[in-house]
Each structure stands twice: as structure tokens, then as C-alpha cells.
Amino acid sequence: MQTRRVAFMSMIVLMACVGSAGAQTSGGTGACPPLETRAPNAPDQRPAFPGQTRACAIQSNVAFDVVVLATGLEQPWAVEPLPGGDLLVTEKPGRMRIVSARGDLGQPIAGVPAVDARGQGGLLDVALSPNFAADRTIYWSYAEPRRGGNGTAVARAVLSPDRRSLDQVRVIFRAIPTYDGTMHYGSRLTFGSDGTLYVTTGERSDTPMRQYAQRLDSHLGKILGINPDGSAPADNPFVGQPNALPEIWTLGHRNIQAAAFDPEGRFWVVEHGARGGDELNLIEKGKNYGWPLVAYGEEYSGRPFASAVTARPGFEQPVYYWDPVIAPSGAQFYTGDAFPAWRGSLFIGNLEDKRLVRIVLVNNRVTGEEHLLADRGQRVRDVRQGAGGELYIVTDERNGELWKIVPRQ
């Protein structure tokens, strides 16, 4: 095991809003300096309510150490704590491994189906069955190679007793339509308290594909609710509606790579926007979250979105948005005892600025934002809480790392 303990260094710079443009685009009330002080990508857009963007800069002053449990991971995408302290990790090229609690890197687990690892594709998220201790079942999402292209798929299997292979591998869900592209697969897997598996997808990015985020005959740009066997629950919101796929839970999403339930059981996702449009959304059954008809930000070219506005009747507003973006991936509400000051916070991976984002929510509104681990200089892909309240992080690098965040001794 390679262990490296690094004392926490605060990277926050508190700056006042400068000029009228900064004041106008700030979502705050002016009572505190925002964390974000860079010029927005879409300076003419205005938040729908105070605090919807550019929240107050906060500083928890928590002292912690970063333990590098493992290195040499190739673009790890997800980390899932196992009973007993070991970690299950996916790597984008198509490998799944177990890293021991001491940091020993296991061999790739046999039985993982082929993936299309071009672009943003590959082996993506992994989740344990709610009854994993008894059934040893795991679920994972991946970009599945298909005739005519590829698509997001979800498979399940039983982890062998020696944890070296997958048995009874079965694909339980395939997003349609198939598309010959390499972008926006989603995808996070999150079990609800009732055992429903929620699957997030992307709309495949390219302009002709964006329409599918609003179409009920497509799984693209959606949150989907499925039973553990892949069937659609009878109470899903569009079951029985003509020309609607029964798995759909919500629609109008661009590319969701972060999803988590809060301690009260509410479902939150953080999705990639284009330039200036990353969103934190509180998910409600059957609702429409707008893309590509309602969106903040602009095209990567710098041009406005065609036919899009920031608000429209019948579409949900994000609880919060980032302009400029953070490129969010991975999410965890902190409920542990190791860091009492962080309890209730939402942690989000930040690929763009290479750090960990901490959000404080009060009454479903963001009241503060803190950025951590900026000194590490690595893209944070996923963050998960361990049984002892520690945080585990994987970094999206060719020589990716697995970190354990613990209180400073």
C-alpha cells in the first residue's frame, strides 16, 4: 500500500463581487461574497430566484488527511465500499477490481462484458444490491457495443465467493435508441429505499439527438426506475401511457453523472450542462427538467442554445446552477460521525477544476459552497462514504488514484 498523508490546505479565496455584471449575475443577496467570482459564460442570463447560483463562500475548517490507498488505476469511474472495508472499483476501459482496505490492488474480475470505451464510453457505475450481504449481487452500467452503434446498458451478476469472477451475468436494461456516437451515456445507479434501481442517462450530446430528452418513446436524457430484474415498477409515472416507455421516471435531462438520496429520502442529481449550465436538481416523479428547451448557459461555441430559454411554464427550475461549470461526477450526502462539521453536506466530484465540491442545503436551497482538494490537481470522478464515516474518492486520470479522507491524527 502506498500511503501519503497530506494536511488539509484551504484553497478558497474570498473575493467581493466586482462591478455591476458580477452583482447582477450573483444568486446571493449581497450579504456575503460568493465563492465563484469569474465572469459567467452567459452574462445576460439571470437566476430565477436568489441563491440559485454563486452561493456564499463557506469554510468548514475541518482538518483531514488524504491517504492514497491505490495508484495505477486507469480512469477509474466509480468506487463502491464493500462490507468489511474493501472497495469495488470500475475502470473505464472495462475492468472491475477489488482494492483491499489496506490498499492492495486486486486483479481484474473475470466476466465483465465487452464495453465501448471510446470517448465518454466504457465501464461506468457500479452498485451493490441492497441485500448484497446475502445475495452477493452487483449491478453496473456501461456503454454497450451494438449493431449500428452503442448505448447505455445495465447488467447484474453474482460475485463469486473468491471475488475473482462474476456468475449469472445478465443484461437487465438497454437504453434505446441505439446511436453511433461516443458522448453522454450518463450514468449513475442508485437504489431507493423501496428497492427501485434508478438509472440516469444522457441524451448522446449531438444536436440531432437532443430531441430525445423530451420524447417519451426514448430512454435518452432521462432518469429511469426499474426493478432489480429490469422490469418497470407498476407505479412509474408513464406506465400505460401510449407511446411512452414504462421505465421513465423523469425527463428533460442532458447528462447525469451524479445522483444521491439525502438523509430524508429525497432524490438529487447533478447534471452536466454545456458552458455555464451545470445543474443541481431535486427530482420529483414525472417532472420535466427542461433540456433542451429550458437551460442555463450556452453552446460550447459561445452561441446561445437554439430555441432554449431559462424558464418556461411546466418545466422545473434547477435548485442551483454553476456558471462557469464544475463538470460534476459522483455525489454523496454525508451522514457520518468522522466529520461532524460536514454532516448533511452534499459532496460532488469536480472534473473541470479538479477538486471536491461541498454544498450546504437548507430548506432545499443552497446556502454555501466550499471547494476542497484543489491542491491535489486531479479530476475527481466519484465520492462515496465508508462505514466509518470516511470518504473514498477516485480520480479520472490515466494513472488514477483511490483516496481515503480521514480526520487528521
Task: List b or e across 234-257, with b for residues whose CB sees 16 or more CB atoms inside 10 angstroms.
Answer: eebbbeeeeebbbbbbbbbbbbbb
Q: What is the pLDDT of residue 31?
A: 78
CB-CB neighbours of 85 under 10 Å: 13
Per DSSP (E only), the strands in 85-181 are 87-91, 95-99, 123-128, 137-146, 149-159, 166-174
Are 193 and 265 in contact by the 8 Å Cβ rule? The answer is yes
Distance CA 221, CA 232 (A): 17
State the pTM of this model. 0.93
| 208 within domain boundaries | yes
| 50 within domain boundaries | no
Helices and strands (DSSP H and E) totals, the chain: 2, 23
Cβ-in-10-Å burial (0-12, 13-18, 19+) of 269 comes to buried
Distance CA 278, CA 287 (A): 18
| 54 within domain boundaries | no
The DSSP code for 374 is: G
Q: How many CA atoms lie within 13 A of 238 on its CB side?
A: 23
Q: What is the pLDDT of residue 30?
A: 60
CB-CB neighbours of 35 under 10 Å: 21
Per the structure, how many domains does the chain have?
A: 1
**Active-site option among 184, 219, 272, 371:** 184
| 5 within domain boundaries | no
| 164 within domain boundaries | yes
The DSSP code for 85 is: S
Residue 192 phi/psi, 5-degree rounding, is: -85, 170
Are 397 and 33 in contact by the 8 Å Cβ rule? The answer is no
Sign of CA dihedral 326, 330, 333, 336: negative
Distance CA 227, CA 236 (A): 11
Question: Residue type for 76, please?
Answer: P
Closest CA to 316 of 291, 339, 346: 291
Are 269 and 190 in contact by the 8 Å Cβ rule? The answer is no
Closest CA to 113 of 103, 122, 104, 101: 122
| 375 within domain boundaries | yes
Coil, strand or helix at 211: helix
Residue 112 phi/psi, 5-degree rounding, is: -75, 130
| 338 within domain boundaries | yes
| 307 within domain boundaries | yes
Coil, strand or helix at 150: strand
Q: What is the CATH number of the domain that holds 271?
A: 2.120.10.30
Question: In the chain, which stretches have pLDDT less than 50?
Answer: 1-27, 29
List the domain range (segments joined by +) for residue 321: 64-407
Q: Confirm whether 253 is a catalytic residue.
A: no
